[in-house]
Amino acid sequence: MERREKWFWWLMAVLALLLLAAGMVQVTRQDWSARQNEGRRKFGAVYMTLNNPFYVIVDEEIRTSVENHGDVLISRDPALSVERQKAEIRELIEMGCQVLFVNPVDWHELAPVLEIARQAGVPVIAIDTNVDDDSLVASTVVSDNYMAGVQCAKHLISLVPGGQVALLKHDQARSSVDRIKGFRDTLAAHPDFHVVAEAECQGQLELAMPAMAGMLREHPDINIVMALNDPAAMGALAALQQAGRLDSVLVYGVDGAQEARDMIAQGHMAATAVQAPRRMGQMAVEQAYRILAGEQPEPLLQLPTKLLTRENAATEVFEAWE
């Protein structure tokens, strides 16, 4: 009887140890982090600036899509500093991000840090604007920026036979370069249009406004403005209003922001080439998950733009930002 009791208690002890071990295994598999982030894949996004509603919406869409997959997006805003953007990309690599979405501050200057990403095995997806060396990114998702400029120029040609043109540019961004080139190339066949002034503004309202004011002082006969994006167009409109010329100058932009839509509806702005920031974010995430699944991403995806004017605003369907 005594031997049976010993065997019984020995078996109970072994069983208890086995149960404890099983419990410990289960405990180690649990995610005890406050935000339940353990085991979730990290993605990084670095924009040229988040002081632009376009990039805010792109980021919102990427974040929503990534989180719907159960993963995490870490976003950074270098505030138009290329050195800060390089540092933030390195930081995201060190944090273990498996894919990076990059909107270059300067499309010529990111090659060294993109090479670091490649050596670390972190694929990069360029969004909204290209990088200088396409071989350093897995995929590029942009609007057809050249065509956006062409659309603006064709609409201008349909309205007036000629005029004095001012350009608001951002030469550090390939998207801006392509838009302005499409505009200029289209006007080249119409010699009565003259580009009399051009200024850099980084696509920022607060820089575009004084730049436009300066061009108006030097060239008071300006009656056409092509702005690389809607924030720059808003800056131009503010300067024109101050100069008492709000409704005597044809202003063009690119984006499709609500402020531009309102100004077009009120007759203060000629047109804007509407982009699709939500679709851009979705497509970028689709390429990221293709890469993680071991599939080959599309090297270049270009989304069409559609010109919004006062004439077609009520009759045609345009990409909604909200």
Nearest Cα residue to 240 out of 168, 313, 148: 168
Nearest Cα residue to 303 out of 129, 106, 43, 118: 129
- pLDDT per position in the chain (322 positions), as tens? 455 555 555 555 545 555 444 444 333 334 344 455 556 899 999 999 999 999 999 999 999 999 999 999 999 999 999 999 999 999 999 999 999 999 999 999 999 999 999 999 999 999 999 999 999 999 999 999 999 999 999 999 999 999 999 999 999 999 999 999 999 999 999 999 999 999 999 999 999 999 999 999 999 999 999 999 999 999 999 999 999 999 899 999 999 999 999 999 999 999 999 999 999 999 999 999 999 999 999 999 999 999 999 999 878 888 878 6
- pLDDT tens digits for 30-79? 434 445 555 689 999 999 999 999 999 999 999 999 999 999 999 999 99
The Cα-based distances of 96 to 35, 43, 117, 122, 171 in angstroms read 17, 8, 11, 9, 32
Q: Which residues contact 238 (CB under 8 A, 6 or more apart)?
A: 205, 209, 212
Cβ–Cβ contacts within 10 Å for residue 165, how many? 24
What pTM value is reported for the model? 0.86
Cβ–Cβ contacts within 10 Å for residue 16, how many? 10
Q: Is the dihedral of CA 84, 89, 93, 96 positive or negative?
A: positive
What percent helix, strand, coil does the chain show, rounded to 5? 45, 20, 35
- pLDDT tens digits for 245-287? 998 999 999 999 999 999 999 999 999 999 999 999 999 999 9
Nearest Cα residue to 58 out of 132, 126, 122: 126
| Alpha carbon distance 78, 93 (integer Å) | 16
Nearest Cα residue to 130 out of 173, 179, 100, 170: 173
Strands 193-200 and 163-169 turn out to be parallel
| Alpha carbon distance 27, 199 (integer Å) | 62
Element containing residue 60 per DSSP (H, E) = helix 53-68
CB 176 within 8 A of CB 168: no
Q: Which residues contact 38 (CB under 8 A, 6 or more apart)?
A: 31, 32
Strands (E), the chain: 42-46, 72-76, 99-102, 124-127, 139-143, 163-169, 193-200, 224-227, 250-255, 271-274, 300-303, 306-309
